[in-house]
Chains A and B, each alone.
Chain A
Amino acid sequence: MKILTQHIDVPGIETIDVYRQHGGYSAVEKAIKTMAPDEVTEEVKKSGLRGRGGAGFPVGMKWSFLAKPEGVPRYLVCNADESEPGTFKDHYLMMKSPHTLIEGMIVSSYALGANTSYIYVRGELMYVINILEKAIQEAYDKGLLGKNILGSGYDLDLFVQPGGGAYICGEETALLESLEGKRGNPRNKPPFPAVKGLYQCPTVVNNVESIAATSWIVNNGGEEYAKIGVGRSAGTKLISVSGHVRKPGVYEIPLGITVEDFIYSDEWCGGIRDGHKLKAVVAGGSSVPILPAELILKTTNGENRLMTYESLSDGGFATGTMLGSGGFIVMDETTCIVHNTLTFARFYHHESCGQCSPCREGTGWMDKVIHRIEHGKGRMEDIDLLVDVAKKIEGNTICPLGDAAAWPVAAAIRHFRDEFEWHVKHPEEATKPGAVFMREGASWTL
C-alpha cells in the first residue's frame, strides 16, 4: 500500500503535467470546490494521521487547536528542515515529487484558512529548493496557487524559505524565529504556535510527510486512511533506512508490519549484509533510544515488535524506543556502540543553540567524556557520570533538543554498559582500529 510514493518513479513526475496525469491536484479540486475548510479538518481528524516529524501528535487535533481570532492572519508552515541524523525521507519526497508536497500544502492551507504558507527547507538542500521553486511556479501558472484558486475565491501564496543549516531550526518555534529572520533560538512555551506563532499570529507547523498525506485523505476519506495500519498508528510511513542492511533507502510502509519483516524481508531492507548479524537498531532517528537486536525484534512480553508508534515504545525507555521520524539505522556486530554514541553526542554538542544552560553545557560535557572513553582515557566513574548528566538535561530544557541529546547516551549505556566498561578497562585494545567488543553469548556474536 503506497500513498505518497505511488508514482514517485514515474519519469517526469516532478513536472505538473505528468503529476496531473497521475491524478495529481484532484484533492485540491475536491477540497476547494466541494468541501468547507472544517470538513477537510474533520476528514484529517477521522484519518488518525499523526505528525510524521517525530513526536507523533495527531495532525487533526493540532489543527483544531489553531486559534481563529477575527482579522488576524493564520499561517501554515511546512517543516522541511529534516536534519536528524538517519532521517532523509522528506528530502527524498521533495526531490522526486515536489508537487505531492505542494498539493498537500494547498489542501492543508485551505483547511486552516491560511492565505500565506511557507515551506522551510534546510539550507544544505539548495537543489531541492530549486526543484520546489520550479514546481511552485508551475502551480502558479496553472492557477493552483495565487489569487482566486480555481475560481473559488480562495487565495494562497506559497513561499520556500531556505534555512541556514541548523538542526535546531527543525524545532518548530526555532523554525518560526528563523523564518522571521532572527537567530534560531526556540521560544518558551506557552504560548504555543497555535496561538502565537509566526509574526505572533496563529500558526500550524507540520512535517512534510504529514502535509503530503492530507491530499490522499481528502481524495479517499479519512476513514479509508484509518483502515491502513494498526490502532492509533494509522496510515503509511516513510522510513529512511541506513546502515548495514542489503538495501538501504526510503521505504513507504503501512504501519503495523513487524520489525523483523521490515529488516529481513526482500520487499524492504532485505536483511543484514552477508556474513553479518544484527546487533542494534536506532529506530527513529538518532535521538531515540538505541535497542539491541533482541529488544528491537521482540518486546519483553515476547510479542513481535511492530512498526507502530505504540509497539516501538512498548516498555517505555527501559526496554522500548520510539518511531520518531522514521530514521531507521541498522547496525551489525562490527559497530562499536561507544563510537556510535560519540558520533551522536558530538552532533548534539555541535547543534545545541546555547540558550538554556543544561543543554548548552551538558551536551558539550557528554561529548567530551565519551570522547575520552572512546580514546582510551575513560574512568569507570565516567559511565555513571554520563547517566547522571543525561538525567539532569532531560526534561529541564526549553525545547526537546536536550532530551534528544540525553536519550541516545542514556540508552547506549543502559543496553551496552559492558561495551563502555570494556573501553575503560582495556584502553589499548579498544583504541585499535576496528576493535569491537563482543558480548559473550549475545545473538550477534559471530
Chain B
Amino acid sequence: MKVTIDNITIEVEPGTTIMQAARQIGAHVAPPAMCYYEPLKGSGGKCRACLVKVTAGSEKDPRPMPKLVPSCITQVQDGMIVENTTSPQVLEARKGVVEFLLLNHPLDCPVCDQAGECHLQDFTFEHGVSKTRTIEERNTFEPQDLGPYIQLNMNRCVLCYRCVYTADQVTEGRVHGVMHRGDHAEISTYIEKAIDNDFSGNVIDVCPVGALTDKTYRFKNRVWFTKPVDAHCDCGKCSGKVTLWYRGDEVIRVTARKNEWGEVQDFICNTCRFERKKTSDWTIEGPMKVARHSVISANKYGASSIKPAFPLKQAAEQYKQIDDNRDRSFLEPQKQLK
C-alpha cells in the first residue's frame, strides 16, 4: 500500500496506521503523540495531538475526509494522501490542543521530575504558542500517595489513559482508573488503595507527563545532569533490560528502555526498578541511545551531534512569525546546524 505523508510517499503493510507509516518515514513527519503508545493495545485517539488532514482518502475514493482524523488510530488506504505539518489547518488545531492541555496544567516544570523528558513540554515547544489566553483559576487536585513507590500528582495529568492500559495489560490486576468526568476527571485508586504488584512501576515510564513519578528518585535530580547507560541483569520476573541513570558513580534511577518515540519495549519489574540500584547488580552494555525528545543530548554529547530535527527547525522558522515577546536568542545557535 502506498501512502503519501507531507509529500513523501512510502510503501506500507495493510493495516498500518497513518502514525506508524509517518514514523517509518522519520521523526520530521511523525505526528506528536500524547496518549498513543504502540505497545499498549487500545491506546490512542484521546489527546487529539496527532490530528492530521487526509486530502485524499484512497486511490479508489480520492475524496478528502471531512474532518481532521487522529493519525494514531486511522488506518492507511492505498493511495491515501495525508498532510501533517504542511497543513495550516492541522497546525492550528494542534495549537488548540496544546492550549487545552495546558489550560489546567500547573506549568510547574521547574520543580517537576519529568522536565526534560516530558512529552507535553516537547509538544508545547513544537506546536504551541508561548502566551496563554486564560485567566481562569486552574482546577487543582490534592497529591495522592499510591503506595511506597509511586506518587500521583493529578494536576499534571493529561488523562492519556496510558497508565490504565498498562495496569490492564502488564500487571495482574488494575486497582486504579479514571474517576468522575469532564475536566474534573481524575486518575485515582478506589479509596486511596495502594498500587501494589510486581509490575506497577511501569505506569511511571508510560506517563507522558510528571503525573506519576518514582518516589525513590523524586526531587533528587534533573534529568539533564544524569548519564544514562543501558544495562541488563538476569531477572526471573522480567527481561532485565533496563536503563541506569547515573549521577557521578551513583545509580539514582532505573527505568525500562525506551525507543525513539519514548515507548517502552520491555516492561520491567519493580525489583529491577526500585531495588537494584548498585552498579554491581548489573552488566553494563554501553551508553543509551538518546531519544529525540531528550535534553540530555544537548548537555552531554554536544549540540552538533543532534540532527536539526523537525522541532528545532519548526521553532526557528515559526517563532519569528508568532507574536511572542520572549527572548529567542537561544534559537540562534541551532540555525547554524542547517
Interface size class of A (residues with CB under 8 A): 20 to 34
A410 to chain B, nearest CB (A): 14
Binding site secondary structure of chain B: loop
| Cβ B182 vs Cβ A351 within 8 A | yes
Question: Please, which residues of chain B bring their CB within 8 A of the CB of A364?
Answer: 103-104, 139, 182-183
The segment out of A66-74, A216-224, A353-361 that lies at the interface is A353-361
| Cβ A360 vs Cβ B136 within 8 A | no
Report the nearest A residue to B92, measured CB to CB: A392
Decide: A363 near B96, CB < 8 A? Known: A355-B159, A398-B46.
Answer: no
A393 to B104, CA, bound (A): 16
Q: Among the listed B48, B159, B177, which residue makes an inter-chain contact with A397, where contact means beta carbons less than 8 Å apart?
A: B48
Q: Does B117 contact A (CB under 8 A)?
A: no
Q: Does B67 contact A (CB under 8 A)?
A: yes
Question: Please, which residues of chain A bring their CB within 8 A of the CB of B68?
Answer: 395-396
Decide: A356 near B47, CB < 8 A? Known: A188-B70, A362-B100, A365-B136.
Answer: yes
Question: Please, which residues of chain A bring their CB within 8 A of the CB of B46?
Answer: 355-357, 398
Report the nearest B residue to A349, measured CB to CB: B182
Report the nearest B residue to A368, measured CB to CB: B136
Q: Does B45 contact A (CB under 8 A)?
A: yes
Chain A window 334-369, contacts with chain B (Cβ cutoff 8 Å), 1 for yes, 0 for no: 000000000000000111111111101111110011
Q: Does A385 contact B (CB under 8 A)?
A: yes
Question: Please, which residues of chain B bring their CB within 8 A of the CB of A355?
Answer: 46, 159, 161
Chain B window 116-158, contacts with chain A (Cβ cutoff 8 Å), 1 for yes, 0 for no: 0000000000000000011011010000000000000000001
A166 to B180, CA, bound (A): 11
Q: Among the listed B44, B96, B181, B183, which residue makes an inter-chain contact with A392, where contact means beta carbons less than 8 Å apart?
A: B96
Q: Does A80 contact B (CB under 8 A)?
A: no
Decide: A392 near B93, CB < 8 A? Known: A183-B178, A352-B183, A361-B104.
Answer: yes
| Cβ B181 vs Cβ A353 within 8 A | yes
Decide: A396 near B97, CB < 8 A? Known: A356-B46, A357-B47, A368-B136.
Answer: yes
| Cβ B51 vs Cβ A396 within 8 A | yes
Q: Number of contacts between A and B (CB, 8 Å)?
A: 96
Decide: A351 near B47, CB < 8 A? Known: A361-B104, A392-B99.
Answer: no
Most chain A Cβ neighbours within 10 Å, of B100, B134, B177, B185: B100
Q: Does A179 contact B (CB under 8 A)?
A: no
Q: Among the listed A168, A349, A363, A396, which residue makes an inter-chain contact with B48, where contact means beta carbons less than 8 Å apart?
A: A396
Question: Please, which residues of chain A bring their CB within 8 A of the CB of B103?
Answer: 361, 364-365
| Cβ B48 vs Cβ A188 within 8 A | no
Q: Does B101 contact A (CB under 8 A)?
A: yes
Report the nearest A residue to B183, measured CB to CB: A364
Decide: A354 near B97, CB < 8 A? Known: A188-B73, A369-B136, A396-B68.
Answer: no
Question: Please, which residues of chain A bring their CB within 8 A of the CB of B104?
Answer: 361, 364
Decide: A352 near B73, CB < 8 A? Known: A358-B97, A392-B99, A395-B67.
Answer: no
A397 to B93, CA, bound (A): 11
Chain B residues 9-29 with CB under 8 Å of chain A are none
| Cβ B183 vs Cβ A349 within 8 A | yes
Question: Please, which residues of chain A bring their CB within 8 A of the CB of B185?
Answer: 353-354, 360
Chain B window 147-191, contacts with chain A (Cβ cutoff 8 Å), 1 for yes, 0 for no: 000000000001101000000000000000110111111000000
Decide: A396 near B73, CB < 8 A? Known: A357-B47, A357-B101, A358-B48.
Answer: no
A194 to chain B, nearest CB (A): 17
Q: List 16 A-B contacts (CB under 8 A).
A: A183-B177, A188-B44, A188-B70, A354-B178, A354-B184, A357-B48, A357-B49, A357-B101, A361-B104, A363-B183, A364-B103, A364-B139, A364-B182, A365-B103, A365-B134, A372-B136
Binding site for B on A (CB under 8 A): 166, 168, 183, 188, 349-358, 360-365, 368-369, 372, 385, 389, 392-393, 395-398
Give the top 6 A-B pairs by smallest Cβ distance, nearest first: A392-B96, A354-B185, A361-B100, A364-B183, A352-B182, A188-B45
